[in-house]
Amino acid sequence: MLLNRSFRYWSLLPALLLFAALTLYPLLNLVRMSVSTVAFANGAETWTFTPLRNFAALLEDDVVRPAVVNTLVFVGVSVAIEMFLGTALAIAVAGLSRAKRLVRTVAILPILVPPVAIGSMWKLMYNYDFGIFNQAFVALGAMPVNWLGSTSVALWSVIAVDVWHWVPFVFLILFAAVEGISPDLFEAAHVDGATRRQTLRFVVLPLLRPAIVVAFLFRAILAFKVFDEVFLLTAGGPGTSTELVNLHLYKVFFEQNRLGYGAVLSLAVIAAIVAFLLVSRRVALAVASQK
Amino acid sequence: MTTDARGTAALRAGIPGRLYVALALFAIVGPFLWILTASFKHPIAIYAGQFPFTPTLDNYADVLFGRRSDFAGNIANSLIVAASSTALVLVVGALAAYSLHRFRWPVWVSAGFLGWTLVFHMVPVLTLLGPWYVAFRELDLYDTRAALVVTHVTINLPMTVWLLRAFFREIPPEILEAAHVDGCGPFDAFRRIALPLALPGLIAAGILAFVFSWNEFPIALTLTSRVTATVPVAIARFAQQYEIQHAQMAAASVISTIPAVILMFLGQRFIVSGLTLGAVK
């Protein structure tokens, strides 16, 4: 049969073609775009070669700086809180005698729900006039807070949503790791007279280290990809107070229609991610192999 | 479960631990209940913060059957795109994962492909949306479901390949050798032996691919317009209009969570293995 004879060659072909057409070719196009000015007129596009223009635009763009700073704050703070709360939750749930399955079931929900729905959910809760937080604040006699409209609060409100969204993910990974620890080790610790705290500190946490590293890397990279919720909640505002790199990319490409300059930003983002991957791989290997 | 009780029982949670778990459960479920109640409130009841309130189905009727709403069409678009992209990614992904596992590809092909999928998986999709937009316009595929299907297959391919690769690795090579000796061709061995054995992996990858495609927002936002818009795009429109339509937004959001809720109960085993396997291996 023909399918059989050449199977070892054609089996990889669809994936290779798809990836070449939809990732490699666009990547090359980004490079071409980054040195061009693309204009749309009457449904046709014209490319002009303007090698320096887009790079000059990068220097003149006042939004890049706040976007990068906000993104770093967003990733750093939300991932740190998620790691802490998620690990604590995994250990707490592992110590329950029942309801483990229930917690795990409920924890899956935020991960599977459309991020856009999460955005609209929290948009309702953060609403200044009738959101649940301000209703509670007013009932308690406090001043209502402008959760999404105040420059000093908005970024933290957005971070809180991300924490809510992703603590369950950290929990699921670490819970699987805690449950995977051999019962003999607990028994040995018990026989040696270790207290619960000592068991945690000297048995559980060291054994969780690889899972913690993995969860951390996953979260750091996913947090960097955030777009949907923030687009719905604040779209970067007020001012640039919740502007993130991805939001800015979207605006440059699809609101300002600056394909050339957008390509420069895209390439910078890709380069930054690859650099992060290379560095974190080394760090992760070092941390995971540390005894 | 007996070994389990013996093991992690050493971590027996005290009162603070139990309180923390209870609080976490409440915190996870609370926002869902909030939007669920909002979706059954008249807009006036939402704005007045009324509780208790007279429940109404008006918002759902408005969203699903209202004359100015395309939401039924949006649901159809989302279902079509999610189902076709899932089917396609399973075929392409299973072939690739099996091929990389079973056949001796030169290192630059296998490592290159796997590494590149990994990098692509970690790069924000926003970076490629510009070139995609241009390319699909040139191909006259802008604002078609086909464009969404192809791009969704691409973004779900890395996850599918890595996940299925882990499942194919579990298959003892002896079984495939035996099939070979018995005269079973490589494609038949894949179809008749490897695929059925990797079924749990296919289910896990399929569930995740479906959910990711159903949820996907930025690509759908930029590559579709009114006719082919998907559910998340429609929800964003409710939230972005000059006057935010809170009631409809709530109802549409609740509808959008239905697949996730169904899969949470039916596919929990596969989802957890999918999410954690991808993370741990």
Task: Confirm whether A9 is domain-assigned.
Answer: no
pLDDT of B4 above 80: no
Angle between helices B107-122 and B71-102 (to 10 degrees): 150
Task: Confirm whether A81 is domain-assigned.
Answer: yes
A124:B38 CB<8 A: yes
Same structural domain for residues B10 and B75? no
pLDDT of A290 above 80: no
pLDDT of A142 above 80: yes
Same structural domain for residues B71 and B106? yes
Strand partners, A47: A38
Task: Confirm whether A212 is domain-assigned.
Answer: yes
Same structural domain for residues B44 and B86? no
Interface test with B, best of A3, A42, A106, A113 (most B CBs within 10 A): A113
Task: Confirm whether A274 is domain-assigned.
Answer: yes
| Contacts across the A-B interface (CB distance below 8 Å) | 331
Mean pLDDT on A88-107: 88
Interface test with A, best of B98, B122, B262, B280 (most A CBs within 10 A): B122
Distances in Å between the alpha carbon of A195 and those of A66, A95, B9, B226?
A: 48, 14, 13, 62
Q: Which of the 8 DSSP states describes residue B23?
A: H
Same structural domain for residues B82 and B144? yes
Q: What is the pLDDT of residues A47-58, one digit of tens each?
A: 788 778 888 888
Same structural domain for residues B160 and B270? yes
- Quote the pLDDT of residue B131: 92
Domain count, chain A: 1
pLDDT of A287 above 90: no
Q: What is the pLDDT of residues B169-184, one digit of tens each?
A: 888 888 888 888 888 8
Expressed as residue numbers, the domain containing B147 is 63-280
Closest CA to A214 of A175, A274, A167, A170: A170
Same structural domain for residues B26 and B145? no
A120:B31 CB<8 A: no
pTM of the model: 0.90
pLDDT of B10 above 70: no
Q: What is the pLDDT of residues B183-233, one digit of tens each?
A: 888 888 888 889 999 898 999 899 999 999 999 999 999 999 888 999 999
pLDDT of B109 above 60: yes
| Cβ atoms of residues B35 and A124 within 8 Å | yes
Mean pLDDT on B129-138: 91
pLDDT of A147 above 80: yes
CA B217 – CA B231 distance, rounded (Å): 9
The residue in chain B having the minimum alpha-carbon distance to the alpha carbon of residue A91 is B11
Same structural domain for residues B162 and B260? yes
Q: What is the pLDDT of residues A217-228, one digit of tens each?
A: 889 888 999 999
Task: Confirm whether A67 is domain-assigned.
Answer: yes
pLDDT of A169 above 80: yes
Mean pLDDT on A188-215: 85
CATH code (residue B192): 1.10.3720.10
- Quote the pLDDT of residue A80: 96
Domain count, chain B: 2
Same structural domain for residues B46 and B80? no
pLDDT of B84 above 90: yes
Arithmetic mean of pLDDT over chain B:
86
Task: Confirm whether A44 is domain-assigned.
Answer: no
User: Is B152 in CB contact (< 8 Å) with chain A?
Assistant: no
- Quote the pLDDT of residue B6: 54
Closest CA to A175 of A206, A217, A222, A212: A212
Expressed as residue numbers, the domain containing A149 is 53-289
User: Is B218 in CB contact (< 8 Å) with chain A?
Assistant: yes
CATH code (residue A82): 1.10.3720.10
